[in-house]
Amino acid sequence: MQTDKYVLYEVLQCGDVEKLINADEPLLYYVTIEETFDVIKRAHIATGHGGRDRMIKELQRKYANITTKALELFKSQCEECQKKRKRPMTKGVVMRPILGKELASRGQVDLIDMQSVPYSNFKWIMVYQDHLTKFCILRPLQTKRAAEVAFQLVDIFLLMGAPAAL
Ligand SMILES: [Zn+2]
Give the rounded distance of the alpha carbon of 158 from its chain centre: 44
CATH number at residue 45: 1.10.340
Same domain, 138 and 76: no
71 Ramachandran zone, left/alpha/beta (phi>0; psi -120 to 50):
alpha
Total domains present in the chain? 2
Checking if the pLDDT of 92 tops 90, the result is no
Same domain, 19 and 84: yes
d(CA 82, CA 93): 17
How many whole angstroms from 36 Cα to the centroid of ligand 1? 16
How many whole angstroms from 88 Cα to the centroid of ligand 1? 16
How many whole angstroms from 68 Cα to the centroid of ligand 1? 15
Same domain, 31 and 88: yes
How many whole angstroms from 83 Cα to the centroid of ligand 1? 9
How many whole angstroms from 63 Cα to the centroid of ligand 1? 20
Q: Is residue 4 part of a domain?
A: no
- Asked which of 61, 93, 125 is the last residue of a domain, the reply is 93
Percent of the chain whose predicted confidence (pLDDT) is above 90: 56
What tens digit of pLDDT does each residue of 52-64 get? 999 999 999 999 9
Q: What is the b/e burial string over 87-124, where b = at least 16 CB atoms within 10 angstroms of the residue's CB? A: eeeeeeeeeeeeebeeebebbebeeeeeeeeeeeeebb
Same domain, 114 and 88: no
pTM greater than 0.75 (yes/no): no
Parent domain of 128: 107-160
Same domain, 36 and 63: yes
> Minimal CA–CA distance to 126: which of 151, 159, 106, 100?
151
Same domain, 15 and 72: yes
Q: Is residue 1 part of a domain?
A: no
